[in-house]
Every structure is written in structure tokens, then in C-alpha cells.
Chains A and B, each alone.
Chain A
């Protein structure tokens, strides 16, 4: 399937995956500040139950510590 992540179109071999799968694929789960799916914010506790579908638009914002 195809997902639009932070404005980039990405292709995945899997046909079903959850938000948690996606974040784990990037290995950034613990630094994630907020995640939106199709403009709707997703709570951390819901990542594993949030199914992603072909064409979904995902925004992932992650924390950085520098300054």
C-alpha cells in the first residue's frame, strides 16, 4: 500500500499495518511528539489499534533536544 508520510509518498509491501507498525519501522517511536492521520490526532494509547489504509495521510512530529 501507499502512505503519504510528512508529504512524501511511501510504498509498503504489507497491505495491513497499524500506526505502531509504521512508527516502529522508522524506529522513532519514543521520540514521537504527535501523530496525525488524515488531520485527526491519534493518542499514544491508540497507536496499536489504529489501522492504516492505502492513501492515508500521516503527519509525524518528533522531538529534538538541541538548542
Chain B
């Protein structure tokens, strides 16, 4: 029975038993355990990729359940971290592979650690700031990856082979402003699934020894439109991220407290200058007298003070809901959690 686990995939001629053995020895890093990260993660776990690392900075909310397939109502009710909830589910799907869930932000300071033994990176993020960090980290370490984005009924995919095909930076000279996001104009699961399917397909191709596509693909599943453009001529010989003269601008370490506005969610993430393990019970004890409500779920401390809901992670990162101004968020962080 167990031997037959991959039989249908092995019967698929381009993979075969040889390709299956290759998959068992590969390590894929998935950045982001949202909709795309979940969908890619499930396919890769079922496909028998030997090791999957899934990194995410967030926790499960009810609004995620319409499309983030690894999560259940229980995960939302308990505000489980996405990385841990995803890794539990992926491990349950396939106990014969190694799954690692990392509750952390994929940031300039930490990105390169994940590159050391990665064979491939899947973009499961929902923002361009993180994508440009992936782009630089993968370019520097020569790790192939696949960009995926989706919004409303629309999706876009591009496989990137650093140094050989244009990178994200070659195609855009500035980070696009995110006027429209999943939190403002929505997204439907079929758009997620198609995007993820093309990402996983490119990943499986590469891992089993094939060349990836050089086409930038986009589609609208509602309107049933597909456009594929071969972007290989757009590789920039002076690209700051992927050329021989690269400076990797998005891997520059930042100083001091870092903040990130989570688009459309009226939420700011505050990350301390030094992420180190914080004592959640001690913080809970200290803040109890000020809080209107408080919950410690073993992974996170969640409490409300006046209009703001704080979600504190063990690495000291905090999501502050009910605020969109970065300076305001920093002040709240310093007042209640620390410098």
C-alpha cells in the first residue's frame, strides 16, 4: 500500500520512478503560508518532496478559511500560527517526509539562512516587499524560485532561474504600490489554485531535472483568459539583483525597530531591533492589569487595550490591529511591550 503511494505520479512519464527518487532528496522552502503557500505546500507534500520548510509571520483568522486550504475552524478559533498549523497538516498528509514550520518573518536579516540548503523556493507571500527579499536572496544563492500572485479571479506566475532568466527586479524597477489587495478587492479560490498549480508544476519540473518555462503567464479564471509572454529578452545585464554586478539591495540589514503595514487590514507589524525569545507568561502578568481581555494560546499572547488588539509572537514581533499609522504603532509597542 505504502509503496503505491506515488504510483500515479511515477506512471507520469516525465517523472517516472527516477524523478520520484529525486523528489525524495529535495528541500523546498515555501515563504508564506497563506493561500498560495497552503496550496503549493499540500501538492508538494503529496508529491513526496523530501523536506518542506514553510515560513510565515501571521496567525490564522476566519477570513482565511475560504481559500487557505491547510487550516480549519479550530485553527481560526484558537488563532494558531499559520506556520505551525500548516506544518501539522502537511505532516498529517505525509508522515514519510520532513516538515518544518517556522514562525518568523522572512526578512533581510533572516532570509539567507533559509537559502543554505534550499533546492527551490516557492513564493507564497502576499506582498512585494517580501518578494523582493526572496528575489535577492535567491539571486545571491543561485536558488531557483517561482513568483506567484493572485487577486480577484486573476493570477500570474513566473519561474526565475537566477542569472539565466530575468528576475523580478529585471522586470520592475520599483516595488508596485499595492492599491488593490486581497483585503480590499478580494480573491477567489480558483484563482489561487491555478496560480499554485503552475508554481508547483515548475517546481516539480526543476526538481526532476527539466528546464523551467521562460514565459510570464497570466490568466483570469472568471473571464477565461490566458496570456503567455516569453520574457527572456528582458534580462538586465546591469540588474542590481541578478547580474554579475549585483548589490542585492533588499538584503541590506535594517537598524532599529522595523514596522510593516499589513495592507488593507488596519494592522501594523512591529519587529524589535533584536528578535529573541520573549517570555510570554511574564509579559502576560505585567499587562494583565491594563488589558480589557487577554488570551495565551501557548504560541501567542493576544490582548486588547482600548481600541487596539495586540498579538505578540514568541520572537517579540507584534501585530497591532486597529492602527494604520506606523509611528503610532511604534509608540504603542514601546509603551506596552518594550523597546
Binding site for B on A (CB under 8 A): 6-7, 30-31, 33-34, 36, 41, 43-44, 59, 61-67
SS class of chain B's interface: helix, strand, loop or mixed?
mixed
Q: Are A65 and B151 in contact (CB under 8 A)?
A: yes
Binding site for A on B (CB under 8 A): 32, 34-37, 123-128, 131, 148-151, 154-156, 158, 171-174, 176-178, 180-182, 187, 192, 195, 216, 218, 225, 227, 229-231, 233-234, 263
Q: Are B227 and A66 in contact (CB under 8 A)?
A: no
Q: Are B126 and A43 in contact (CB under 8 A)?
A: no
Given known pairs A33-B156, A36-B229, A41-B233, the reply for A64 and B171 (CB within 8 Å) is no
Taking CB atoms, residues of chain A closer than 8 Å to B195 are 67
Taking CB atoms, residues of chain B closer than 8 Å to A41 are 229-231, 233-234
**Cα distance A36–B155 in the bound complex, in angstroms:** 18
- B36 smallest CB distance to A (angstroms): 4
Q: Are A63 and B233 in contact (CB under 8 A)?
A: no
Given known pairs A6-B225, A41-B230, the reply for A65 and B181 (CB within 8 Å) is yes
**Cα distance A63–B128 in the bound complex, in angstroms:** 10
Q: Are A66 and B231 in contact (CB under 8 A)?
A: no
Question: What are 19 sample pairs from A and B whose C-beta atoms fall under 8 A apart?
Answer: A30-B177, A31-B176, A33-B172, A33-B216, A43-B234, A44-B173, A61-B218, A61-B229, A63-B172, A63-B176, A64-B149, A64-B180, A66-B182, A67-B35, A67-B36, A67-B125, A67-B126, A67-B149, A67-B182
- A40 smallest CB distance to B (angstroms): 9
- Which A residue's beta carbon lies closest to that of B177? A30
**Cα distance A63–B174 in the bound complex, in angstroms:** 12
Taking CB atoms, residues of chain A closer than 8 Å to B148 are 67
- A39 smallest CB distance to B (angstroms): 9
Interface core residue of B124, B148, B218, B230 (most chain A CB under 10 Å): B218
Taking CB atoms, residues of chain A closer than 8 Å to B36 are 67
**Cα distance A40–B15 in the bound complex, in angstroms:** 33
Q: Are A66 and B216 in contact (CB under 8 A)?
A: no
Q: Are A67 and B229 in contact (CB under 8 A)?
A: no
Taking CB atoms, residues of chain B closer than 8 Å to A31 are 176
Taking CB atoms, residues of chain B closer than 8 Å to A44 are 173
Given known pairs A6-B225, A59-B227, A66-B126, the reply for A34 and B151 (CB within 8 Å) is no
Given known pairs A36-B229, A41-B230, A59-B227, the reply for A65 and B178 (CB within 8 Å) is yes
**Cα distance A31–B175 in the bound complex, in angstroms:** 9
- Which A residue's beta carbon lies closest to that of B129? A65
Given known pairs A65-B149, A67-B149, the reply for A34 and B229 (CB within 8 Å) is yes
Q: Are B171 and A67 in contact (CB under 8 A)?
A: no
Taking CB atoms, residues of chain A closer than 8 Å to B233 are 41, 43
Please give 13 more A-B residue pairs, beta carbons under 8 A apart, in addition to A33-B172, A41-B234.
Answer: A7-B225, A30-B176, A33-B171, A33-B216, A34-B234, A43-B233, A61-B218, A61-B227, A65-B178, A66-B150, A67-B34, A67-B125, A67-B148
Taking CB atoms, residues of chain A closer than 8 Å to B234 are 34, 41, 43
**Cα distance A18–B174 in the bound complex, in angstroms:** 22
Q: Are A63 and B149 in contact (CB under 8 A)?
A: yes
Given known pairs A33-B172, A41-B234, A61-B156, the reply for A67 and B32 (CB within 8 Å) is yes
Q: Are A66 and B174 in contact (CB under 8 A)?
A: no
Taking CB atoms, residues of chain B closer than 8 Å to A6 are 225, 227
**Cα distance A36–B32 in the bound complex, in angstroms:** 31
